[in-house]
């Protein structure tokens, strides 16, 4: 099965290694019976597989919550008909970051061809607002809302902060552009979560490299700070590019190996280079380096020396540094 998609990136998790030579990851009882199997034989064939919805099964062993959710979304859209994946389910298909708690229910929206009232069912919620054909795309044959509509819909459904995380990721991946996000979000009216959607464009940035950076940027701004993002510092040994720079002297890094593992395998070389460049920052008297927000505990041999501050600027403004340290320790 090809992983090609009409827009840059890999948007659908292809699970051929879980289903052998089958071209579909979802196994349907109806398909097995149409191939000549009896109902009893078909039932025996899916023994040990995970039930996705009535009559549909898949091998979900070893899959992440997001990958399993995509399989369930495919099974439900095929069974219900005239619906598309939307909201957080569409975000999963487009490869946008989600929390496991956002994946408990498959989110679907009707097309204009669907008749009857929307309803919820086991494992899914069917929204009432139909989706225009122009806003539907089909990466790998799975019909879903466009990246732009997906981003705006997610902003209405999830928390404001996590809506920004999704918006940042969509911008970074090149799925959407900032002007079109501002236009689409600004037009949302008289819908649940409309205020969150309208606020989205002014809070998003394509420069965040991970959900943690997005959330940290929001916290810094709520403290009254305006951090510059992904700033190159050629005057420092190693010419580092830092996550955040405030007032040209306060450096804030969101560290953690998980940050470099979101889009693929962990890149140890990148991690080690980050550590080396931070060593250059610590030796520069003009910079106060704060390493914050580790996403998971790391072995002691990977942590490196504890962050330390140097230079006269540290004592010049201790309240600010203390506020940042106190806030980000709770991150």
Q: CA-CA distance, 288 to 290, in Å (whole number)? A: 7
Contact status, residue 26 vs residue 59, Cβ threshold 8 Å: no
Q: Which of 4-8, 148-152, 230-234 has the lowest mean pLDDT?
A: 4-8
> Which of the two residues, 271 and 79, has the higher pLDDT score?
79
Q: Comparing C-alpha atoms, which of 311, 242, 231 is closest to residue 273?
A: 242
Please indicate, yes or no, whether the overall pTM of this predicted structure exceeds 0.75.
no
Degrees to nearest 5, angle at CA 167 with 162 and 173? 125
| pLDDT range class, residue 273, cuts 50, 70, 90 | low
| pLDDT range class, residue 166, cuts 50, 70, 90 | very high
Q: CA-CA distance, 37 to 34, in Å (whole number)? A: 7
**Residues 52-91: pLDDT tens digits?**
888 888 888 888 899 999 999 999 998 998 999 999 999 9
Instruction: Over range 143-151, report the average pLDDT.
Output: 97
**Residues 197-207: pLDDT tens digits?**
999 999 999 99
Q: What is the pLDDT of residue 233?
A: 76
Tell me the pLDDT of the chain averaged across its residues. Answer: 75
> Which of the two residues, 130 and 272, has the higher pLDDT score?
130
Instruction: Over range 101-125, report the average pLDDT.
Output: 85
Which helix (H) or strand (E) segment holds residue 120: the answer is: strand 120-121
Q: What is the pLDDT of residue 12?
A: 33
Q: How far is CA 186 from CA 80, 148, 152, 200, 268, in A?
A: 32, 13, 10, 9, 41
Instruction: Classify residue 111 as exposed, middle or buried by CB count within 10 Å of its CB (0-12, 13-18, 19+).
Output: middle
């Amino acid at each position: 099965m090809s992983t090609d998609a009409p827009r840059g990136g890999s948007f659908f998790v292809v699970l051929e290694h879980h289903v052998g030579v089958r071209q579909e990851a979802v196994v349907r009882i109806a398909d097995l019976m149409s191939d000549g199997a009896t109902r009893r034989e078909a039932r025996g064939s899916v023994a040990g597989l995970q039930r996705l919805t009535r009559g549909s099964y898949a091998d979900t062993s070893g899959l992440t919550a997001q990958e399993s959710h995509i399989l369930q979304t495919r099974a439900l859209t095929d069974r219900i008909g005239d619906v598309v994946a939307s909201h957080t389910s569409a975000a999963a298909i487009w490869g946008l970051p989600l929390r496991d708690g956002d994946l408990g229910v498959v989110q679907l929206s009707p097309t204009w061809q669907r008749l009857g009232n929307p309803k919820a069912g086991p494992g899914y919620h069917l929204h009432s607002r139909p989706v225009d054909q122009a806003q539907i795309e089909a990466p790998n044959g799975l019909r879903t809302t466009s990246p732009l509509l997906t981003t705006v819909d997610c902003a209405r459904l999830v928390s404001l902060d996590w809506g920004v995380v999704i918006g940042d990721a969509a911008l970074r991946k090149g799925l959407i552009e900032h002007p079109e996000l501002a236009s689409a979000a600004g037009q949302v009216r008289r819908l649940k979560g409309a205020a969150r959607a309208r606020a989205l464009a002014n809070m998003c940035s394509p420069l965040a490299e991970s959900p943690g950076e997005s959330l940290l940027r929001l916290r810094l701004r709520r403290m009254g700070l305006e951090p510059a993002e992904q700033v190159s510092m050629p005057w420092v040994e190693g010419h580092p590019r830092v996550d955040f720079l405030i007032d040209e002297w306060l450096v804030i890094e969101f560290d953690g190996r998980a940050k470099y593992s979101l889009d693929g395998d962990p890149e140890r070389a990148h991690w080690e280079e980050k550590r080396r460049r931070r060593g250059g920052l610590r030796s520069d008297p003009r910079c106060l380096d704060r390493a914050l927000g580790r996403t998971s505990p790391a072995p002691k041999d990977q942590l490196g020396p504890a962050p330390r501050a140097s230079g006269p600027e540290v004592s010049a403004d201790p309240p600010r540094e203390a506020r940042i340290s106190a806030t980000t320790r709770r991150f």
